Amino acid sequence: MNIAVLTKQVADLVEGIEIDASGRAVDRDSIRYILSESDDHALEEALLLKERSQAHVEVFSLETGEVRDGLCTALAKGADRVVMILAGQETPPSNHAAARMFASVLKGLPFDLILTGVRAIDDLDGSVGGLLAGYLGLPYVGLVRKVELVDGAATVEKEYPGGFAAELGVKLPAVLGIQAAEQPPRYVPVTRLRQVMKTAQVEEQEAEPASEEPVSVERMYKPEEGAGAAMLSGSAEEIARQIVNLLSERRVTR
Amino acid sequence: MGVAQVPSIPETPGPLFPELASAEEKFRKCIQCGVCSGSCPMGEAMDYAPRKAVKMLLEGRFNEVVESNTPWLCVSCHTCAVRCPSQLAISDGLFPALRAAVMAEGKALDQDLQKALQNTYLYGNPMGISPKKRADWAKTAGVPVPIISQLRRPVDVLWIVECYPSFEPRGQEISKLLARILNALGVDFAILGHEERCLGDCEWLAGERGLFEMLIERNIEILGKYKFREIIMTDPHSYRTLLNIYPALGGRYKVKPVVQFLAERLDQLKPRLKKKLNTTATYHDSCCLGRKTNHYEEPRLLLRAIPGLKMVEMVQNRESSLCCGGGASTIYLDRFIQERMKDRLADRRVMQAAATGAGILAVACPFEPARFEDAVKLTGNEEKLVVRDIIELLAESMEVQ
Ligand code: SF4
Ligand code: SF4
């Protein structure tokens, strides 16, 4: 059983994001990168599968942000091999381009399962997994929260709106978009992480260069404050009281 | 089977877990008197209370202790350590090592604890707030709170504010009051601002040695950039760590807790304590100011200096003070502990305070206002008892609020 986990680094929202002088992109210098949260869950699910069925886990990451750190963390957690995908461009690729790059690297490799986070903060429509499956001609299931392997096929649990879930059977190889792993992503003690960082072998592989993007960003901006918006201020307790008052004024509370 | 090898202790035990570098030899001094277990406020919930844990360590059964609930139930109150006739470092040595072993085995951690550790790794504080915002509280302090990197000159006093007093709402209010008190006393002080990071007490005691080392390296580097005569600290946990642990790793500073710094200026302070508070207070000795560093008198001196304020003592005071139950990262393990204890230590402590008849439970540790206030509500003492930091009481009497 060979599992590929596709990851990428995204901006850490805790540190805030600025728009650059062109007004058409995020200011790359202001960003601190962290592993995309649902990719972290995809990695965790892969590691759980490895523990249950001795799978071989390889982690691929696009060359944006602090990729090396992210890949070393994956090794420290138990991944068997990590690969950085060289994109040959400064700006992060669009979802289509990202899917094509992943496809160009994975094509022909003997993976039974390809797991990736179902979405990222810069891919809220969660299209990379599905596009990749399309390029590779493989089945795709998104919003997966559990994977079990049975005789060359997988049974996956998928979330639906309204609190529903379904169990689906999927023929392998397949691409899965992970919503959440069966358990929260594991912790890596810093000692182990630092050791791995000293000795880690991060392989590099070139992706097919992206063709020209058919969609371009004309303007990027922070949401404008609407006229009707009121900002609440004060201590947590004061704000809570104000919210209660506002709700009861509008008869939302009893 | 030979003697315990402490097999799960990760790699080369360094100076941080000195007891376990030669665990077998040191812990051989244990005379199995049971004073530790008898004194341990958490013993009833532990699978193996300290005496038993030490015995198992010596019998080569360290792994059984690692597998039990014991590692996460020590609140690092340090009672065992100060009472042990063989002076064995149970809270500082054995427990961090047990926790390090749990982590080294890759076992799942409690999610709140894991989040706090991850946040500290990424942002230098357990709350997960951008370090850029560390000095935000100072903007509304009403007095200048200089940041040392902007001053470009040596200062007399460097105030290390630490995480709770920088980010937690009540802590921020207390920090503003302290800034005003320092100002009123004409102290030449500055803070580190965005360069400040967690000093690592919780991380060390939680067994996250690598993270602790990383924080130490970074903090020693930052502190090395500036000139100051002494450091004052609002958080007793960090104070204790900077005082006792950093020197062995190359970080030597003249460091004091704020209560000591203020008590040394009592003559200056007294004429400014104008407003009578007309109430009775009882003081809770936090473990880090009390058993760990012996600051029993300064907080009481400060409280007694406040006009109109009468002091009463709880049954357990000074060396025998009862821990609030939040040390050594257990502040993140409340849920885990609650499932294993009949009543929380904070609740027990608040009941002791209420029994004195005092109207105020005075504290000098930033964990406590929130913890004890919660306990006051839970034990139904809301009408009787208010939790107040000594800084708040001083500021009220000085009318610098
Ligand atoms: S108090 Fe010290 S000597 Fe006594 S049992 Fe505990 S560890 Fe051993
Ligand atoms: S430090 Fe306190 S809680 Fe921990 S083992 Fe010793 S007495 Fe028990």
B119-164 tens-digit pLDDT: 999 999 999 999 999 999 999 999 999 999 999 999 999 999 999 9
Of A34, A184, A193, the CB nearest to B210: A193
Contact B109 A187 (CB under 8 A): yes
What residue segments make up the domains of chain B, in order of their start? 18-104, 111-263, 270-398
Q: Which residue of A has its CA nearest to B102?
A: A189
Give domain limits for chain A.
2-206
Comparing CA positions, the residue from B311, B312, B292 lying closest to residue B302 is: B311
Local confidence band at B195 (pLDDT 50, 70, 90 cut-offs)? very high
The least confident of A101-115, A188-202, B94-108, B120-134 is B94-108
Nearest CA to ligand 1 atom 7: B30
**Domain A2-206, architecture per CATH:** 3-Layer(aba) Sandwich (3.40)
Task: Provide the pLDDT for residue B13.
Answer: 35
Residue A174 has pLDDT above 90, yes or no: yes
Report the pLDDT averaged over residues A135-160.
94
Tell me: pLDDT of A253 over 80.
no
**Band of the pLDDT at B206, cuts 50, 70, 90?**
very high
CA of residue A160 to ligand 2 center, whole Å: 48
Torsion of CA B28, B30, B32, B34, to 10 degrees: -150
A32/chain B closest Cα distance in angstroms: 10
| In B225-273, alpha helices (H) | 236-244, 258-263, 266-269
User: In the prediction, which pLDDT does B105 show?
Assistant: 82
Of all protein residues, whose CA lies closest to atom 4 belonging to ligand 1?
Answer: B33
Q: Which residues are within 8 A (CB) of B346 and not within 5 positions of it... i.e. 6 or more apart?
A: B324, B325, B326, B371, B372, B374, B375
- Residue A125: pLDDT band with limits 50, 70, 90: confident
Q: How many CA atoms lie within 13 A of B348 on its CB side?
A: 15
Predicted model pTM: 0.89
Q: Which residues of A fall within a CB distance of 8 Å from B211?
A: 189-190
The residue written with tokens 């429509």 in the block is A125
CA distances in angstroms from B336 to B110, B170, B292, B333, B344, listed in the order given: 8, 25, 25, 5, 11
Q: Which CATH number applies to B270-398: 1.10.10, 2.60.220, 2.60.40, 3.40.50?
A: 3.40.50
- Can you tell me the mean pLDDT for A49-69? 91
- State the pLDDT confidence band at A231, using cuts at 50, 70 and 90: confident
- Closest residue CA from atom 6 of ligand 2: B80
Stated length of chain B: 401
Q: Is the pLDDT of residue A177 over 70?
A: yes
Read off the pLDDT of residues A83-124 as tens digits, 9 standing for 90 and up.
Answer: 999 987 777 788 888 999 999 999 989 999 999 999 998 888
| pLDDT tens sequence across B210-257 | 999 999 999 999 999 999 999 999 999 999 999 998 998 889 999 999
Residue range B304-333: average pLDDT?
A: 92
Interface test with B, best of A34, A191, A195, A238 (most B CBs within 10 A): A191
**CA B140, B332, B121, A120 torsion-angle sign:** negative
Choose the residue to mutate in B69, B74, B321, B322 for probing ligand 2, maximizing ligand atoms within 8 Å of C-beta.
B74
Which residue CA neighbors atom 7 of ligand 2 most closely?
Answer: B40
Cβ atoms A70, A48 nearer than 8 A:
no
CA–CA distance, B233 with B217 (Å, rounded to integer): 19
DSSP 3-state percent helix, strand, coil across chain B (nearest 5)? 50, 10, 40
Q: What pLDDT, on the 0 to 100 scale, is given for residue B22?
A: 54
Tens-digit pLDDT profile for residues B264-289: 999 999 999 999 999 999 999 999 99
CA nearest A34 in B: which residue? B122
Chain-chain contact of A187 with B103 (C-beta, under 8 angstroms)? yes
Ligand nearest to the CA of B42: 2
Whether residue A203 is predicted with pLDDT greater than 60 in this model: the reply is: yes
Q: Which fold has domain B18-104?
A: Fumarate Reductase Iron-sulfur Protein; Chain B, domain 2 (1.10.1060)
CB atoms within 10 A of CB B247: 12
Confidence class for position B337, pLDDT limits 50, 70, 90:
confident
**Interface probe with A: pick from B102, B103, B107, B213, most Cβ of A within 10 Å:** B103
E-only strand ranges, B142-297: 155-160, 189-191, 228-233, 255-257, 279-283
pLDDT at B1 over 50: no
Asked casually if ipTM beats, i.e. exceeds, 0.90, the reply is no
Q: Which two tokens stand for residue B258?
A: 């704020």
A18 contacts in B (CB within 8 Å)? Answer: none
pLDDT at A212 over 50: yes
Q: Contact, B184 vs B176, CB < 8 A?
A: no
* Site residues for ligand 2, CB cut-off 6 Å: B 39-42, 50, 74-80, 90-91
**Rounded average pLDDT over B107-117:** 90
Q: Residue B51 CA: which ligand is closest?
A: 1
Amino acid at B266: L
Q: Which residues of B340-373 are buried (b: 16+ CB within 10 A; e: fewer)?
A: ebeebbbbbbbbbbbebebbbbbbbbbbbbbbbb
The more confident residue out of A211 and B312 is B312
Average pLDDT over residues B195-204: 94
Mutate to test the pocket of ligand 2, among B19, B27, B78, B92 (most ligand atoms within 8 A of CB): B78
Environment class of A237 (CB within 10 Å of its CB; exposed 0-12, middle 13-18, buried 19+): exposed
**Ligand located closest to B337 CA:** 2
**Helix ranges restricted to H, B124-200:** 148-151, 163-167, 169-184
Mean pLDDT of A220-247: 85
